[in-house]
Structure 1
């Protein structure tokens, strides 16, 4: 019973799965358009900038 709660605590959920999925190659069978590609491109940039800022903040905070 305690093991199940531990697994549930570390599940990524819908948002976590999107962060992983946005960096994968798109499915060639799925139809894509320019707007969708641009949206995913901007999301990739935003995620990378956020992660970079978080790393810089943590380094400054603990060094």
Structure 2
């Protein structure tokens, strides 16, 4: 599975592969990955906003 497809599945842009194995540990891992990606994107947005505000 490619990185872009995995990101699309994390952000609910693409449906999961129905043939993929489904275990509770896999769901936990994907949930933690999803949370960390959201936090990373929020941090990037905050940094960009701070940089824009400092230029004024």
TM-score by length of 1: 0.64
Gaps of 5+ in 2: none
Secondary structure at the residue paired with 2:46?
helix
Moved over 6 A (4+): none
Distance 1:53 1:41, change over 3 A: same
Please give the root-mean-square deviation of Cα atoms over the aligned residues, in Å: 1.8
Segments of structure 1 that go 5 or more residues without pairing to the other structure are: 1-13
- What TM-score do the two structures reach when normalised by structure 2? 0.70
Task: Quote the Cα distance in structure 2 between the aligned partners of 1:30 and 1:44.
Answer: 18
Tell which has more relative contact order, 1 or 2 (C-alpha 8 A, sep 6+).
Answer: 1
CA distance in 1, matches of 2:34, 2:8: 10
